[in-house]
Structure 1
Amino acid sequence: MAIAAGALREDEASMATRAAWLHYAGGLTQAEVAKRLGLTSLKAHRLIMKANQDGLVKVYIDGEVSECVALEQALCERFGLDYCEVVPEFDDADLPLRALGIAGAQFLKREIERGEEMLIGVGHGRTLAACVEYLPRMSANRTRFVSLLGGLTRKFSANPHDVIHRLADRVTGEAYVMPVPFFANTVEDRDVLFNQRGVSDVFHLAKSADLLFVGIGTTERKASLVSTGMIETSEIDDIRKSGAVGELLGHFFDDRGQPVETTLSNRTFTLGRDELRNRRTVAVAAGKGKTKAIRSVLESRYLSGLITDERTARLLTGAD
């Protein structure tokens, strides 16, 4: 039975490769690929998507987009960044997940392929989950991963946009999970859980991460924190009323980048603000609805790097 299952997987991988070759190299439409291989259009589409997700398709583009380079330089100068990547806009203006996912995946891939001993701390959310989806299956070499915050929610057994589990599945390497909620019910509950051996070990590991790979959240009702059941709508309303605009790893900031103390501040399972300073922290974020939040976190000076799209970069630099 195992042999048959393995053979089926090999056949599907072979068919996905053939479909991708016909589509990308041969220039056939997905409908033409389906006809050539005797498949339904839906099956051909799924095979081509599988080829992309498994890293069988690699696109190389020579040259730089001068407008994007100028925006990268402007963002670095304006917000004191050491690293910035601006990708051309071609995606949904509200949340360009495809553009961000591709750029974030390439960034992670480069970090892993350096082959140096490295511990990467990761956040969670839709954007980081998209980055992992576009990351090819590969060996992590000497790279390890650790969750930077709790991922259990009130509505689900685990955050549907949890990144550390997806990353562990995509990349062959060690990954450490923080098996606690993002926010505890009380400060006392947080202290009790933090003192548990497994939790404290992972937390201390997170504090030693060489790179923090994070997303940026808003304080709107449609924020990921609310949609995933981590906090209630009433809680995000209170946070917004307190002047908070952007969120980074459970910490909230106003439009000038100043920290905002909230009812959740002392109940968060994440690194403290002091532990986030002077770290190599790269955020992946873009979108019309997130621009204020991104600017807020950039103004806080907690970030050393940003991956965003051209449309958002123009808004952040005032070029639009």
Structure 2
Amino acid sequence: MAKVQVRRDGDDGLAVRAAWLHYAAGMTQAEVAQRLGLSSAKAHRLIAWAYQNGVVRVSVSGPVAECVTLETAISERFGLGYCEVVPDLHEDGLPLRALGLAGADFLQREIEALGSGVVGVGHGRTLAAAVASLPRLEAPDVRFVSLMGGLTRNYAANPHDVMYRLAEKTSAAAYVMPIPFFANTVGDRAVLLDQRGVGEVFELAVRSDLMVVGIGTAKPDTQLVSTRMILPEEIEDVRASGGVGELLGHFFDADGQPVETLLTARTISPEVTHLRGRRIVALAGGPNKVEGVRSVLRSGLLTGLVTDERTARALANETTP
């Protein structure tokens, strides 16, 4: 069969978007045509062109013009060295499918580029989705380490499961901290970190070559509350203190400044002062996360962000979706 002719630049981005909706979102070609406002014949030609010209592999690759523009705007506004915006898959709520696929692709590239080194791993559903989508690859010289205590009352949300999956898929060593994310008291935090093996893992986490994290919020239904890592009254204290966004248990106000709360001195993760100057990339997005993501971006701690198109538009325009 003859190849489809090379398309104009304007159609290239549309072809990538059509391929993303067809192969990543699982839409039929008729559904793609309806979503993009195209004829069925044109949708078919765009998807065929994307496939024949190497855009479609195991995943969909290639820039969508609108996403590239957003990446540039966000990088310049928040001083990022890396930003990736993935096309919208029109998911309700948290865009786990889109960010899971993009996050897995990012992790694979970074793991292969490191060769040997330490990757610190945070928490959250988006990060878990990325690890779940990660293909098997051999990276025996890479080490993974939890960036925070991982014991929870909700087994399904236990960060240890993410670390286990990483080790299983890469044949790499993975180190966890079998202690709570938040200690009951300041004294308990010191005792926990003084336990044999825990201190060494904590120091390894602080020295990570790359930290891959999620971003939370200070909303009453935030995952930290729903998984019972913290109590409802504790998140209310965070909100009363002006907290908006959360990174590794540290909360920030709308201007990106750290806020002191009842949790601050009890958080078992690298301190904010130890995070500055590190390479930290967040996988985060969704309409309920915009304010939280913007808050953490303004903190200046992040060097990179992988997010979805709707969130990116809100961040670039300083609005909520």
- Shorter-chain-normalised TM-score: which range? 0.7 to 0.9
The residue type equivalent to 1:78 in the other structure is R
TM-score (structure 1 length as normaliser): 0.79
The residue type equivalent to 1:149 in the other structure is M
2:221 match: secondary structure: coil
Tell me how far apart the structure 2 counterparts of residues 238 and 206 of structure 1 sit (CA, whole Å). Answer: 28
Contact 1:126 1:161 in 2 (8 A): no
Tell me how far apart the structure 2 counterparts of residues 60 and 255 of structure 1 sit (CA, whole Å). Answer: 36
Q: Deviations for 1:95-125, whole angstroms, at most 9, x for unmatched residues? A: 1001010001000101112252110000011
1:217 correspondence with 2:213:
no
Shift of 1:194: 0.8
Q: Which ranges in structure 2 are unaligned for 5 or more consecutive residues?
A: 1-22, 29-55
Q: Which moved more, 1:158-167 or 1:67-76?
A: 158-167
Q: Which moved more, 1:244-253 or 1:114-123?
A: 114-123
1:171 correspondence with 2:170:
yes
Match of 2:69 in 1: 70
Match of 2:151 in 1: 152
Query: Identity, % of aligned pairs?
Result: 59
Contact 1:124 1:161 in 2 (8 A): yes
Contact 2:150 2:159 in 1 (8 A): no
Contact 1:83 1:305 in 2 (8 A): yes
1:92 correspondence with 2:91:
yes
Q: Deviations for 1:43-64, whole angstroms, at most 9, x for unmatched residues? A: xxxxxxxxxxxxxx95354531
Shift of 1:161: 5.1
Match of 1:231 in 2: 230
Q: Which moved more, 1:299-308 or 1:136-145?
A: 136-145
TM-score (structure 2 length as normaliser): 0.79
Q: Which ranges in structure 1 are unaligned for 5 or more consecutive residues?
A: 1-23, 30-56
Aligned Cα root-mean-square deviation (Å): 2.1
The residue type equivalent to 1:113 in the other structure is E
Q: 1:134/1:295 Cα in 2 relative to 1: closer, same or farther (>3 Å)? A: same
Counterparts of 1:223-262 in structure 2, within 5 Å, are 223-262=222-261
Contact 1:121 1:213 in 2 (8 A): yes
Shift of 1:227: 1.2
Match of 2:42 in 1: none
Contact 2:140 2:170 in 1 (8 A): no
Tell me how far apart the structure 2 counterparts of residues 298 and 156 of structure 1 sit (CA, whole Å). Answer: 29
The residue type equivalent to 1:224 in the other structure is Q
Match of 1:278 in 2: 277
The residue type equivalent to 2:214 in the other structure is G
The residue type equivalent to 2:96 in the other structure is L
Over 4 Å off, 4+ runs: none
Match of 1:289 in 2: 288
Counterparts of 1:89-168 in structure 2, within 5 Å, are 89-114=88-113, 116-153=115-152, 155-156=153-154, 159-160=157-158, 162=160, 163-168=162-167
Tell me how far apart the structure 2 counterparts of residues 150 and 141 of structure 1 sit (CA, whole Å). Answer: 24
Contact 1:218 1:247 in 2 (8 A): yes
Match of 1:54 in 2: none
Match of 1:185 in 2: 184
Shift of 1:168: 1.9
Q: Deviations for 1:276-314, whole angstroms, at most 9, x for unmatched residues? A: 001100000000000000000000000000000110000
Tell me how far apart the structure 1 counterparts of residues 258 and 92 of structure 2 sit (CA, whole Å). Answer: 28
Tell me how far apart the structure 1 counterparts of residues 85 and 154 of structure 2 sit (CA, whole Å). Answer: 34
Tell me how far apart the structure 1 counterparts of residues 118 and 201 of structure 2 sit (CA, whole Å). Answer: 12
The residue type equivalent to 2:123 in the other structure is H
